[in-house]
Amino acid sequence: MSEEISSAARAAPLAIFGGVLGTEILGLLLLIGASFASSDITRIVNTDLSMPMGQLYLDTFGKKGMLAVWSICVIIEVDLICWTPRYKYILIFSLVG
């Protein structure tokens, strides 16, 4: 992808670094929010769901809220996985003409 940008030798590593840094910051904010929302750590860690974050959502939002939040997380994740390669194909086809 770096062949489409100017000064690719500098811009591509900066973009990778920015993506990794942004992911780390968002993950840290998620963990900070989860730590404030959790009341009983041993219950969350030893859950029967085998998903500690799902147990945290269940404790915080209830069953319907947990299913809604979990569904939104899955939709966003699948959307990012499916649409990222498509943008590259759209760019390739627009350059080919």
How high does pLDDT run on average in the chain?
Answer: 85
pLDDT given for residue 67 in this prediction: 92
pLDDT one-digit tens code per residue, 54-87: 888 888 899 999 999 989 989 988 888 887 777 7
Burial class for 54, CB neighbours closer than 10 Å (0-12, 13-18, 19+): middle
- Supply the DSSP string of 23-41, one letter for each residue: HHHHHHHHHHHHHHH-S-H
Res. 25: pLDDT tops 90: yes
Prediction pTM value = 0.61
Q: How far is CA 73 from the centre of its chain?
A: 8
pLDDT given for residue 1 in this prediction: 54
Residue-range domain boundaries for the chain: 2-96
Contact at 8 Å (CB) between 85 and 73? no
- The neighbour count for residue 14, using CB atoms within 10 Å, is 10
